[in-house]
């Protein structure tokens, strides 16, 4: 899969892409990410990317021309993208289902805003979608872009070593993840649940499923509407909600 990220802080984005799962996926050729400096697509001597807002008011607005030039160059060098994603607090909330949808596309371009945001004509003419990573305002789109790339990259086949670990992640089956434990079996007076050291795989699977259900019902009951539950689990839930 190909990803192009347009930003005025390419070093910040490169630093975030260099480590861990995404860093290994890049060096292993599983994901092809190019970070572009928006200032390289300006035509003036000072590489200006922002200007005052029409109508007045505080802050600066990112100019449209460098984004149009960057998109044209990317399309020419790397092919027409399948999606051009503008990161904005006004976007559709980014979710695990959204990450699964994006990984199905071959080529993404991510546009990182700064200041008061990007000139509206970029949204109208270039963006195919807008994503928000949460109901808070960050000072730029670089951290949101890194969040989107990380969530998408770990779904690319082969990127996460043990495919099962992606399968069991929170949200993947409509439930939060179950609690995890490692050695030692007892720490600070807290033993690991006995079933996990029993060696009984069927019991362990059941315990984990129940723990995931319990945790989801307690913390994110909204997720249960879309979770794939069997008849026993539906019954357990309805008893739980009545008690």
Contact flag: residue 136 with ligand SAM (CB under 6 A):
yes
Contact flag: residue 144 with ligand SAM (CB under 6 A):
yes
Q: Of these, 12, 30, 138, 227, which contacts ligand SAM (CB under 6 A)?
A: 138
# binding residues, ligand SAM (CB under 6 A): 20
CB of 86 to ligand SAM, least distance (A): 7
Beta bridge partners of 107: 2
Residues numbered 16 to 75 that lie near ligand SAM (CB under 6 A) are: none
DSSP code, position 11: H
Burial class (CB within 10 angstroms; exposed 0-12, middle 13-18, buried 19+) of 194 = exposed
Taking the C-alpha atoms of residue 160 and residue 209, their distance in angstroms, rounded to an integer, is: 22
Q: Which residue is nearest to ligand SAM (CB)?
A: 113
Select from 1-9, 16-24, 129-137, 181-189 the region that touches ligand SAM (CB under 6 A): 129-137
Half-sphere exposure of 17 (CA within 13 A, CB side): 25
Instruction: Judge whether 6 and 67 are in contact, CB under 8 Å.
Output: yes
Q: Of these, 50, 116, 169, 233, which contacts ligand SAM (CB under 6 A)?
A: 116
CA nearest to 25, candidates 190, 157, 182: 157
Contact flag: residue 113 with ligand SAM (CB under 6 A):
yes
**Footprint of ligand SAM (CB under 6 A):** 87-90, 112-114, 116-118, 132-134, 136-141, 144
């Amino acid at each position: 899969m190909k990803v192009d990220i347009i930003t005025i802080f390419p070093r910040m984005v490169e630093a975030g892409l260099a480590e861990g799962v995404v860093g290994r996926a890049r060096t292993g050729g599983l994901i092809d990410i190019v970070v572009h400096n928006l200032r390289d697509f300006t035509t003036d001597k000072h590489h200006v990317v922002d200007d005052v807002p029409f109508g007045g008011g505080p802050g600066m607005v990112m100019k449209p021309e460098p984004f149009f030039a960057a998109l044209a160059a990317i399309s020419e060098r790397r092919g027409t993208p399948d999606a051009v994603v503008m990161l904005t607090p006004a976007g559709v909330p980014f979710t695990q289902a959204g990450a699964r949808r994006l990984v199905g596309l071959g080529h993404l371009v991510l546009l990182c805003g700064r200041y008061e945001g990007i000139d509206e004509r970029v949204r109208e003419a270039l963006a195919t979608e807008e994503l928000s990573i949460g109901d808070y305002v960050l000072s730029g789109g670089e951290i949101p872009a890194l969040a989107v790339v990380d969530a998408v990259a770990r779904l690319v086949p082969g990127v996460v070593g043990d495919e099962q670990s992606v399968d069991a992640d929170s949200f993947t089956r409509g439930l939060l993840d179950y609690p995890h434990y490692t050695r030692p079996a007892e720490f600070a007076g807290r033993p690991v649940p006995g079933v996990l050291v029993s060696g009984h795989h069927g019991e362990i699977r059941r315990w984990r499923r129940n723990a995931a259900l319990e945790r989801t019902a307690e913390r994110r009951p909204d997720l249960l509407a879309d979770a794939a539950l069997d008849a026993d689990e539906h019954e357990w839930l309805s008893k739980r909600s009545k008690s």
